[in-house]
Amino acid sequence: MKPKFVMALLLVALLVLGAAFFLNQLLIRHPANPPVPTGVAAASTTSEPATAVFPAAAQTDTASSPPMMAAPVATNALTPEQQQAAIDAETDRLQQWSMNDDPVSLSNILADLTNSEKEVREAAIEATKQFGSTNAIPTLKAVAANTTDPEEQIALLQAADFLSLPAISDSGVQLPRTPEQIQAATQKQAQRQSHNPK
């Protein structure tokens, strides 16, 4: 009887541990609350996402961007591995938001331009470019004005310039070629044929 009881106890303990690990993984991947948005369509929420443990380092001082609420700093409680995992999770989210076209995704991206983690800020700058909205330009310039790191300042301003250009997919129709271009192409083709008769 006793071994049976011990075995059952061990099995139950194993199942509980497995369930706890699974739930933990699930919670890490899916934060309970979205990150605090700023800029376009900013919400008035002050809640902090479960994994967004890196609060804003500076405020985006623009009329269109309401001030970001300070969040509790949780980085000290994390191991370096956990901290890196949280950074990776946030950069993954930024990449996902950058593929969307909605104002909430843009707000989330712009909020991370002032994240306390440099790696996240860099990912946010790239995500802003990938999102491809000129609405981000004022925020990029405002954050650049408040940034002390010259490299980051340049990256922010370059991102603003990047967004001021049209996308390659919006570049219009093909131009008819000039007589000079047509003549040059004909000569080039004739040269190729003379070198490579087939």
Based on the shown chain and the rule CB under 8 A, indicate whether residue 83 belongs to the binding site for another protein.
no
Based on the shown chain and the rule CB under 8 A, indicate whether residue 99 belongs to the binding site for another protein.
yes
Based on the shown chain and the rule CB under 8 A, indicate whether residue 171 belongs to the binding site for another protein.
yes
The CB-side HSE value for 122 (13 A sphere, CA atoms) comes to 8
- Chain-centroid distance of CA 61 in Å reads 21
Based on the shown chain and the rule CB under 8 A, indicate whether residue 75 belongs to the binding site for another protein.
no
Based on the shown chain and the rule CB under 8 A, indicate whether residue 179 belongs to the binding site for another protein.
no
- Give yes or no for a contact between 36 and 113, defined as CB atoms under 8 angstroms apart: no
In the list 75, 82, 95, 116, the residue contacting another protein (rule: CB under 8 A) is 95
Stretch that binds another protein, among 30-38, 91-99, 107-115, 142-150 (CB under 8 A): 91-99
CB of 168 to another protein, least distance (A): 4
Of the candidates 124, 156, 131, 125, the one whose C-alpha atom is nearest the C-alpha of residue 52 is 124
Rule CB under 8 A: which of 2-21 touch another protein?
3-4, 7-8, 10-11, 14
Based on the shown chain and the rule CB under 8 A, indicate whether residue 88 belongs to the binding site for another protein.
yes
Return contacts of 14-21, CB within 8 angstroms, 24+ apart. none
Phi-psi domain of 39 (left: phi exceeds 0; alpha: psi -120 through 50; beta: other): left
- Chain-centroid distance of CA 101 in Å reads 13
Based on the shown chain and the rule CB under 8 A, indicate whether residue 80 belongs to the binding site for another protein.
no
Of the candidates 120, 136, 143, the one whose C-alpha atom is nearest the C-alpha of residue 68 is 143
Closer Cβ to another protein, 63 or 170, answer by number: 170
> What is the full DSSP assignment across 71-89?
----GGGS-HHHHHHHHHH
* Residue carrying the six token digits 């390659």: 168
Closer Cβ to another protein, 73 or 78, answer by number: 78
Contact positions vs another protein (CB under 8 A): 3-4, 7-8, 10-11, 14, 88, 91-92, 95-96, 98-101, 126-127, 129-130, 132, 162-163, 165-175, 178
